[in-house]
Amino acid sequence: MLTSVTSVVRNSPRFSTDDAVRLAQEYYGLRASAEALPSERDQNFLMRHDAGRQFVLKIANSEEALEILDLQNKVLTFLASQETGLEWPVVTPTRSGNLVVPVGGDDGPAYFMRMLTWVEGVCFARVPHTPQLLASLGEALARTDLALGGFEHPAAHRPMHWDLRQAAMARAHLELLPESRRHLVEPIFAAWDAIDWSKLPFSIIHGDANDYNILVDEAGARVTTILDFGDMTHTATVCDLAIALAYVMLDKQDPIAPAAQVVAAYHRVRPLTVAELDAVYTLAATRLAMSVCYCAFQSRQAPENEYLNISNRPAWEVLEALSAMPSGWADDVFRRACDHDRSGELLAQRKQHLGPSLSISYREPLHIVRGWRQHLYDASGRAYLDCVNNVAHVGHCHPAVVEATCRQAALLNTNTRYLHEELAEYIARLSATLPDRLSVVYLVCSGSEANELALRLARAHTGRDGVIVVETAYHGNTNALIDISPYKFDGPGGRGRRPHVRVVPMPNVYRGMHREADSGPRYAQYVAQAADGVAAFFCESALSCAGQVMLPAGYLLEAYRAVRAAGGVCVADEVQTGFGRAGSHFWSFAEQGVVPDIVTMGKPIGNGHPMGAVVTTPEIAASFANGMEYFNTFGGNPVSCAVGMAVLDVIEREGLQENARDVGEYLVAGLWELASRHEWIGDVRGQGLFVGFELVRDRVTLEPAADEASEIVNRAKDLGILLSTDGPLHNVIKIKPPIVFSRRDADFLVGRLDTVLAGLR
Ligand code: PMP
């Protein structure tokens, strides 16, 4: 078929507007002005009659067969007789009662002419694709398909190169695609191969519901008609929907969610069978794959036609976006879209059965059903750039981590009282990431367990109780840790500071008591003053709950010196900051040029698998081995060790520490650039992909802009970005994404923040 593409263009009719005026008068008795409408293949004229009536005079390509025009006329008459709720063009007979007449032809080819009434409306391409409009499109297509189920015409049983069933015709041109892009379409054709067409209902379909063939009402809320039946064919009915979806996905930053809205609305009117639901996404993607293949073919036929490449860019963009999604995701979303929305039910169940002290994020809670790399996906198919999940460190659902979990879970999962290769290898590997003196590892199941154990180690080693912590610190959820977490004991419901706890000022050079960049040692003085008789100084290597505060140079060096001089132990809480996030170093304490006595780990260590670890010196470990056994049922089990090992492997293999450094620097620069245009941003700070920016109402008084920070977080969510606030004044927006975060993600984030900030009053 396609070999005729160029000849089809060559054989397109070339009538003038004067000809059209004459033909309308001669054949239809219509006095009207003529305006040529764009068409590559045929000629269409908008005919305006003085009395306001309007028609389209259609002169078909000379290659068009009469029976195809008859098919198009018949279908319009048929649809007009059905309850579709849509307005269809009426086929207007000539004065002698013909619906198709041959014109021209004396010394050239003859063309077939028809006239239809003009349907008013706005092009779907020209209006915003609101959820309401997308639903209306789904319903309109479904009603059309339902009606066409009762329509028959022999001419529709023809091979059509755009018919999705004929995708092999397009695939034949695969080798014309740039080699670097073939991987985007090959899996789609492979999935197409697997479709069992015998399971799909067949009927005649419109087959070309593209943005320019769909008209909507003035308000842009409702689809009023679907035009141009030139691609009509008898094929699997679901192809009609799939083709519309291919177009709906174009030029969408997040293509699946809008497509799912169309699917859901379609399904309400014409319920999709299981087989149709299984196939519809593959078919929609196939349409795009066919489109780029045919385009490559046409470009080769007409290399001078730059338009072909430009018009194809949106299809490539969607294909790229689709290939970045987790496999099977779109099918999953489409299936969910046809179920009822469960979020209300889930919220009610949660309220009834879950401890009420756990909050839920966002004004309108998210129902997240899938994670992949740095994105989370909600039940409606929307993708969110996850800028806060520092647990899914190497990316949500990293295949290597998932594989390690499954492999080891299928082999053995038991406690650590037996010899296991997994355990031996993992503890050796983990301690190798640390300075030599930190060589003894305890494996636990959470950051809290790690800090709880660190506290016991420090107390056993020093024979003391007291602990120094930094203002607004959080170290975990156990009794003992709440007592050393000012974030909790000084917050709502807290019972205040216990006598054994000493709180030192937050070394915050932006709004703390000393604001010079070199005030690290001055802040360390407060630690020195509190050090007498304490067991331990607990400090994060960059302060998270305190609002993404970077420690000023010299702080830990001086503080550790003072604590050790007083006989205490220095604990680095690396639960949030470890495992390469800091970029320049694998452990954030290294930024401060110190070696702690105890390091505690959690969150990223298992990429979501519940794990934690404490690493300390042989001396401290010896003090703890006082006869009482430390047994942890789950800590260090072979599955956890396999997972931990996989995480370390991925960080190394994918160069993620280096990525955190590169993208972190890039992001911070982007945020400073934003700050140069938005007064709201008072400070930007970060190390690698541990980043924050602080919102103020006044850059001199530093009046915190907490409401605005929360507003930004909620609005960013609506734009597809997940962020959260923190800090004692709730005015810091923290950014600590999976460290596979890319420069492109940083651009997206900064761009969206720009929009949100510009919208703040
Ligand atoms: N330390 C720090 C610095 C933390 O941020 C957290 C958790 N937010 C913990 C310890 C406790 O970790 P978990 O929730 O895994 O018990």
Which atom of ligand 1 is found nearest the CA of 577? 3
Q: How many CB atoms lie within 10 A of CB 100?
A: 18
389, 474, 539, 598, best to mutate for ligand 1 pocket (most atoms within 8 Å of CB): 474
Residue 591 lies in a domain: yes
Q: Is the CB of 446 under 6 A from ligand 1?
A: yes
| Residue 356 located in a structural domain | no
Confidence tier at 110 by pLDDT (50, 70, 90): confident
Residue bearing the bigger pLDDT, 299 or 711: 711
- How much distance in Å is there from the Cα of 475 to the middle of ligand 1? 6
Same domain assignment for residues 131 and 76: no
**Per-residue model confidence (pLDDT) at position 256:** 96
| Residue having the nearest C-alpha atom to atom 5 of ligand 1 | 576
Same domain, 227 and 375: no
Query: Would you state the pLDDT for residue 114?
Result: 96
pLDDT in tens, 581-612: 999 999 999 999 999 999 999 999 999 999 99
SS3 at position 185: helix
How much is the pTM? 0.88
Please list the residues that pair with 215 across neighbouring strands.
123, 225
The strand order across the sheet containing 536-540 reads 440-444, 612-616, 598-601, 569-573, 536-540, 467-470, 501-504
Among 12-16, 112-116, 164-168, 657-661, which stretch is predicted with the lowest mean pLDDT? 12-16
- Whole-number pLDDT of residue 5: 47
Strand order in the sheet with 681-687: 681-687, 690-695, 732-735, 724-726
Domain boundary among 653, 688, 718: 653
Domain limits for position 246 = 122-337
Quick one: pLDDT at residue 1?
31
pLDDT number for residue 4:
41
Q: Same domain for 172 and 51?
A: no
What whole-number distance in Å separates Cα of residue 469 and Cα of residue 503?
5
- Percent of the chain having pLDDT more than 70? 98
- Predicted pLDDT at 419: 92
Predicted local confidence at residue 364, as pLDDT = 86
Span 380-404, average pLDDT? 97
Identify which of 448, 577, 601 to mutate to test ligand 1's pocket (most ligand atoms within 8 A of the CB): 448
Closest CA to ligand 1's atom 16:
448
Give which of 260, 261, 269 is closest to 332, Cα–Cα: 260
User: Is residue 475 within 6 Å of ligand 1 at its C-beta?
Assistant: yes
Is residue 353 in some structural domain?
A: no
pLDDT higher than 80, residue 678? yes
Q: At 389, is the secondary structure helix, strand, or coil?
A: coil
In a domain, 550, yes or no: yes
Same domain, residue pair 636 and 725? no
Stretch 199-220: mean pLDDT: 96
Would you say 456 and 626 are in contact if contact means Cβ atoms under 8 Å apart? no
Residues 410 and 261 in one domain: no
Domain containing residue 522: CATH number: 3.40.640.10
What CATH code is carried by the domain that includes residue 231? 3.90.1200.10
Sheet with 122-123, edge to edge strand ranges: 122-123, 214-216, 223-226
C-alpha 154 – ligand 1 centre gap (Å): 69
Ligand 1 proximity of 474 Cβ (cutoff 6 Å): yes
**723 and 646, same structural domain?**
no
Residues 168 and 267 in one domain: yes
Q: Do residue 462 and residue 556 come from a single domain? A: yes
Query: Quick one: 430 and 514 in the same domain?
Result: yes
Residue 383: which CATH number? 3.90.1150.10
Task: Determine if ligand 1 sits within 6 Å of the CB of residue 476.
Answer: yes
What's residue 12's pLDDT? 77
pLDDT at 378 over 80: yes
Please tell me if the CB atom of residue 540 comes closer than 6 angstroms to any atom of ligand 1: yes
The answer to whether residues 92 and 215 belong to one domain is: no
Q: How far is CA 560 from the centre of its chain?
A: 43
Mean pLDDT of 16-28: 95
Residue range 450-469: mean pLDDT, rounded: 98
Residue 63: what pLDDT?
83
Q: How far is the CA of 390 from the centre of ligand 1 (A)?
A: 11
Residue 108 has φ and ψ, to the nearest 5°, of -140, -165
In tens, the pLDDT along 634-664 reads 999 999 999 999 999 999 999 999 999 999 9
**How many domains in the chain?**
4
How many Å lie between the centroid of ligand 1 and the Cα of residue 89?
A: 65
Last residue of a domain, one of 117, 148, 183: 117
Residue 734 has pLDDT above 90, yes or no: yes
On average, the pLDDT of the chain sits at 95
Q: Does residue 609 have its Cβ closer than 6 Å to ligand 1?
A: no
Q: Alpha helices, DSSP H only, in 302-358? A: 306-323, 329-338, 343-353
Do 198 and 277 lie in one domain? The reply is: yes
Based on the fold, state whether residues 112 and 134 are members of the same structural domain.
Answer: no
- pLDDT tens column, 35-47: 999 877 789 999 9
Atom 10 of ligand 1: nearest residue by CA position: 475
Q: For residue 93, tell me if it sits in a domain.
A: yes
Q: Which of 359, 551, 589, 603, when mutated, tests ligand 1's pocket best, judged by the most ligand atoms within 8 Å of its CB?
A: 603
pLDDT of res. 309: 67
**Is residue 359 assigned to a domain?**
no
**Whether the predicted pLDDT of 756 surpasses 50:** yes
- Last residue within a domain, chosen from 638, 653, 668: 653
So what's the pLDDT on residue 308? 67
The reported pLDDT for the residue numbered 175 is: 95
Evaluate whether residue 375 is within a structural domain. yes
E strands present in 602-698: 612-616, 681-687, 690-695
- Single-letter code of the amino acid located at 576: Q
Q: Is residue 348 part of a domain?
A: no
Cα gap 295→177, rounded to integer Å = 9
Q: What is the pLDDT of residue 732?
A: 98
| Ligand 1 atom at minimal distance to the Cα of residue 477 | 16
Average pLDDT over residues 497-504: 98
Give the residue among 315, 239, 250, 318 at the shortest CA–CA distance from 280: 239
pLDDT score recorded for residue 302: 81
